[in-house]
Amino acid sequence: MPPLGTPASAMVGMTVSALVSLLLAGLPARAQPTSAELTRSLRPVSEDMLLHPDPGDWLMWRRTYDGFGYSPLKQITRDNVKNLQVVWAWSLPSGAAEGTPIVHDGILYIGSYGDRVQALNAATGDLIWEYRRDLPPKLVESGGNDLVKRSMAIFEDKLLISTSDVHLVALEAKTGKVLWDHATADWRQGWRYTAGPLVARGLVIQGMSGCGNGQPGGCFISAHDANTGAEKWRVWTIAHPGDPNSESWNGVPLEARHGDSVWAGGSFDPQQNLVFFGVGEPYPWIAEMRGTLPPKASPGTTNSALYSDSTLAIDVATGKVRWHYQHLQNDTWDLDDAFEQMLVDLPFKGTMRKMVVTVGKLGIVEAVDRSTGEWLWAQETVPQNVVESIDPKTGAKTISDATIPHMGQSTLNCPSDPGARGWPATAFNPDTQTLFLPLNEFCAFTTPVPLEPGQPYTGGGRSTFSRNLVPGSDGNVGRVDALKLTDRSTTWSFRQRAPTTSAVLPTAGGIVFAGGWDREFRAFDGATGKVLWHIRTNNAVNSFPISYSVNGKQYIALPVGNGSGQGQELATLAPDVALPDDGAVLWVFALPDKG
C-alpha cells in the first residue's frame, strides 16, 4: 500500500473505496473534535458573522456577501500545493453534484441530489446527521436537474434550504430537525428552485426558476422571515401590468410572457441595503415565436422584454427595485445574463466606483455602478458573433442581424445555449484585483422548432442546437482565464480539450482551483496560470469548490458527479471524454501533517 504522502498523480485510477481504505489505514493520529463536541460548541451564526466571516468558515454560496468566491486562507501555497492529498471522501446520492458546501465551526453541510442534506465532521468526514426530503414520486421519477440545488444558507441556529417541491425549509443546524417548512409555489405547475437562498437583514431571499415550463407571468424573487418562513415581499422578474416597463414586451399579454428564471444566488451590499440578482432569458427562446420580433410601432411599446437578462438591485427592506440594467435585450439565443453579481470597488476614469461586475453566457464581462445602475465598461473574453459592437460611452450593444434565428432557417451562433460561461461561477481575488473565469469556446447552429397551427405553448425553449467548434479552432474547448480588472488585461489563459465545468476558487495562498468534464481538478499559480498540482477524480467536476479550516488546518472540498445539464451539453464538443453514469462523491484535500 502506498504511504500517506503518495502524490495525487499516483492516485489516478484508484477507486474511491480504495482511496478511503488507504486513508483510514495510513492517517496519523491527530486530535480532532468529535461530532458530539462539534455540535455542543456550534455557535449561532449572527448577522455580524455573515458580514465578517471567520477566515476558516464558508457561510454562504460565494463565501461573502460581495460574491467574490475567494478564500483568505494561505496555508496551502504555490510552494507546497504539490503535496496536496486526499484526507477523506464521502459518497453522495448518485446524480449531478452541483452544490456548494457550507462550513461553520468545524461542521460541513452538503446538499446533494434529491434534496438530501448531510452534516459532516469537516476534519474527519464522520456523519453527524442527515435530512432526507420526502419528495412526490412523480417529481422523483422526472429526475434531471429538477432535483439539484446549488447552494444553501446558514443563519442563527438554522440551515436554510430550498427544495425540489418548491418549499423553503429551516433545519436546526445542530440536529437536522425541521424548524419550519414554507411552501412558496406549486411544483406541479412547473415552478422549480435551482439556486439556494441568501440571508440578509434577517430575511431569507430566494429566486424562483422553472418559468420556461409554460408558467405565465414569469418568475419572481421572494423574501421570507428567517424565524417562520412567512413571505414579506415579492419581485416579479417579468414586468407586469402597472410596472412602467410592462410595455417592453412588444404588446404581448402577461399570460403569454414566460421565462426570466433566477438561476443563481444573490449578493448583498449592506451599506446601501441592496441585494443584487441576475435574471435569465425569456421563453420561448426564439423572439419571433414569443411575439417580441419584429418590433411593433405602437407608441411607448418596445421589445426589450424586461427584466430578462438583467441585473436587478432590490431594496431589502421594501422589496422595491431600485434600479435595473439589461445586459442583452430581446434575447433570442438562450444567452442568459443570470449569474453571480460581484460587488467590486475599483478606480474608473480616475474615480473610485462601487461596481457590480457580472459575466453572462456571451462571456462579456460588464461593470455597472451599483448605486445607480449606470453602465461603466465591458470586456470581451471569447470568440462571439452575436454582438457586433458595444458603445464605449453607453454600453448599448449592436446585434448582428445574421445571428438572429428566424422560423424555417438555422443560424450560426457563437457561443450558443450552454454559454461561454454558465452557472459555474467566476471568482475575484481582491489582493491582486484579478477576476478568474471558467470559460468554453464553441458555436452552434440554432434551429427554431415551431408550434403546429393551433398548438398551445406549454413550455420549453423551442430550439435545437447543433454544437461545433469555433471556425479555425485549435480543438480546445475549455479555458480558465485571469483578467486584471484595473486595466481589463488578460494575465493568463489556460486552454484544454475538455470543457471547463466547475466554478473557480482563488485563495490567499496564490492558488486558483478549477475542474473540468475530464474529471481533472487542478491547482493553478494565480499569477502565471502554471498547473502546480492536479488529480483525476472519479467523475465530472462540475460544482463549487471551497476552502475552510479546522484547528488551524486548511482543507479544499470538492463535490463531483455526472448529470449536470450544462456539462452534458458541452460534452457533445468532446465526445472522446467518457464518464461513468454514477458516482457522486465529496472529495476533501489537505497537506500532510508534519511528522
Residue 563, phi-psi category: left (phi > 0), alpha (psi -120 to 50), beta (remainder): left
22: three-class secondary structure by DSSP: helix
Q: Express each pLDDT in 79-99 by its tens digit.
A: 999 999 999 999 999 999 999
Rounded CA separation 493/513 (Å): 14
User: What is the sign, positive or negative, of the torsion defined by CA atoms of 286, 290, 294, 298?
Assistant: negative
Instruction: Give the chain's radius of gyration (CA, Å).
Output: 23
* 568, 114 contact by CB (below 8 A): no
pLDDT at residue 219 tops 80: yes
Q: Compute the CA torsion angle 15, 16, 21, 27 (nearest 10 deg).
A: 120
157-166 per-position pLDDT tens digit: 999 999 999 9
Q: How confident is the model at residue 7 (pLDDT cuts 50, 70, 90)?
A: very low
How confident is the model over 171-192, as pLDDT tens digits?
A: 999 999 999 999 999 999 999 9
Q: Tell me the pLDDT band of 72, cut-offs 50, 70 and 90.
A: very high
pLDDT tens profile 511-538: 999 999 999 999 999 999 999 999 999 9
- Length, in residues, of the chain: 595
At residue 12 the predicted structure's pLDDT band, cuts being 50, 70 and 90, is very low
pLDDT at 591 over 80: yes
Mean pLDDT of 348-354: 96
Q: Is pLDDT above 50 for 23? A: no
Confidence of residue 31 (pLDDT cuts 50, 70, 90): confident
Decide if pLDDT at 142 tops 90. Answer: no
- What is the value of pTM for the model shown? 0.94
Cα–Cα distances in angstroms (integers) from residue 24 to residues 21, 88, 556, in the given order: 5, 8, 18
At 303-323, the pLDDT tens digits run 999 999 999 999 999 999 999
Which three cell numbers mark 65?
A: 456577501
| Three cell numbers written together for 446 | 440554432
Asked if pLDDT for residue 5 goes beyond 80, the answer is: no
DSSP 58: B
Strands 167-172 and 178-183 turn out to be antiparallel
Amino acid at 346: L
Note the pLDDT tens digit of each residue in 223-261: 999 999 999 999 999 999 999 999 999 999 999 999 999
Work out the pLDDT band at 26, boundaries 50, 70, 90: very low
Contact 275, 322 (CB under 8 A): no
- Whether residue 2 has pLDDT greater than 80: no
Judge whether residue 11 has pLDDT over 90. Answer: no
**pLDDT tens for each residue of 487-496:** 999 999 999 9
3-state secondary structure of 256: helix
Average pLDDT, the chain: 94
pLDDT attached to residue 464: 95
Query: Residue 21: pLDDT above 60?
Result: no
Specify the pLDDT at position 16.
52
Residue 595: what pLDDT? 56
- The whole-number pLDDT of residue 24 equals 44
What's the rounded Cα separation, in Å, for the pair 273 and 201? Answer: 9
pLDDT in tens, 547-560: 999 999 999 999 99
In the prediction, which pLDDT does 297 show? 85
Domain 1-183+539-595 homologous superfamily, CATH: Quinoprotein alcohol dehydrogenase-like superfamily (2.140.10.10)
